[in-house]
């Protein structure tokens, strides 16, 4: 019958698995709903944040959004914003209403590891002053404890004698690590790999920050005001 075929169609449609990119896009577009005309926006970096920037561009060109300014957190995002016609004047806006960005790890307290895309310094500067900071991610980013993903935690260090810091960081965490690449700020990234989740992220952040020549690290603690996670069963918003 017609009705049963429409049911089987809808069941079929639901059973089409959403890709990880679909989920990233869902989370990103949900966050963009929080944007109001007149806002100064922190524009994140990475594949998930890029979906948010795309959506902002679309809403601007359709006229649904206007009078916003974006503060891009990387050269990559700056190029994307420019190509979409999103106005951005980073140096003239000391306040940011809302930042939207991805994350590498999200723990149950909404603390984060970020920066695998290498943009952690600019991201942290922007997200620390933002009135609201919405994190967007697919559910593969959820961890019980920070450092638990087995993926790299980046630390940005000045190039001069960077090996001093490589050795100190490895010793501090009894972890593996190596130099990864040069950042937008002409520093190096040292990627650290933890053997187990950090017991105390705040203590770890303080210890890392004590080393001379460390510019910033990828632990973003107490900064997110909400996290939007997209998974197979829908989009979940977690608020601080
Ligand atoms: C870049 C970041 C990214 O937000 C993080 O790496 C997540 O990236 P993606 O959305 O591509 O998974 O912190 O410095």
CB atoms within 10 A of CB 237: 13
Q: Is the distance from the beta carbon of residue 154 to the nearest atom of ligand 1 less than 6 Å?
A: no
Given pLDDT bands bounded at 50, 70 and 90, which one contains residue 4? very low
Query: What are the E-state strand segments in the chain?
Result: 40-43, 69-72, 96-101, 105-106, 112-113, 130-138, 153-157, 176-182, 188-193, 214-217, 219-220, 226-231, 234-239
What pLDDT does residue 9 have? Answer: 34
Write down the catalytic residue from 29, 78, 105, 123. 123
Main-chain phi, psi angles of 212, to 5 degrees: -60, 135
Q: Per-residue pLDDT tens for 27-86?
A: 999 999 999 999 999 999 999 999 999 999 999 999 999 999 999 999 999 999 999 999
What pLDDT does residue 15 have? Answer: 56
Q: Per-residue pLDDT tens for 183-206?
A: 999 999 999 998 899 999 999 999
DSSP 82-150: HHHT----GGG-S-EEEEEE--SEE-TTS-EE--TTS-HHHHHHHHHHEEEEEEEEEGGGB-SSTTTTS
Q: Is the distance from the beta carbon of residue 141 to the nearest atom of ligand 1 less than 6 Å?
A: no
- Does residue 236 carry a catalytic annotation? no
* pLDDT score of 3 more than 70: no
What is the pTM (predicted TM-score) of this model? Answer: 0.92
What pLDDT does residue 13 have? Answer: 45
Q: What mean pLDDT, rounded, does the chain reach? A: 91
Q: Is the distance from the beta carbon of residue 102 to the nearest atom of ligand 1 less than 6 Å?
A: yes
What pLDDT does residue 225 have? Answer: 98
**Which residue has the CA at smallest separation from atom 1 of ligand 1?**
117
What pLDDT does residue 14 have? Answer: 52
């Amino acid at each position: 019958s017609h009705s049963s075929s429409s049911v089987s169609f809808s069941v079929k449609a639901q059973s089409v698995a959403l890709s990880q990119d679909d989920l990233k896009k869902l989370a990103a577009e949900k966050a963009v709903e929080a944007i109001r005309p007149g806002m100064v926006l922190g524009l994140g970096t990475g594949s998930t944040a890029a979906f948010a920037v795309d959506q902002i561009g679309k809403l601007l060109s359709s006229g649904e959004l206007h009078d916003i300014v974006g503060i891009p957190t990387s050269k990559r995002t700056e190029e994307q914003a420019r190509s979409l016609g999103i106005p951005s004047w980073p140096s003239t806006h000391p306040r940011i209403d809302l930042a939207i960005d991805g994350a590498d790890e999200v723990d149950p307290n909404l603390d984060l590891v970020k920066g695998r895309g290498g943009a952690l310094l600019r991201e942290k500067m922007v997200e620390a002053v933002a009135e609201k900071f919405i994190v967007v991610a697919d559910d593969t980013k959820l961890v019980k404890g920070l450092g638990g993903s087995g993926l790299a935690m980046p630390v940005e260090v000045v190039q001069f004698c960077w090996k001093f810091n490589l050795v100190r960081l490895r010793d501090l965490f009894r972890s593996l690590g190596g130099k990864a690449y040069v950042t937008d700020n002409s520093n190096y990234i040292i990627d650290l790999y933890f053997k187990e989740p950090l017991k105390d992220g705040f203590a770890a952040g303080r210890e890392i920050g004590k080393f001379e020549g460390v510019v910033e690290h990828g632990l973003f603690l107490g900064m997110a005001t909400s996290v939007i996670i997209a998974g197979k069963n829908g989009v979940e918003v977690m608020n601080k």
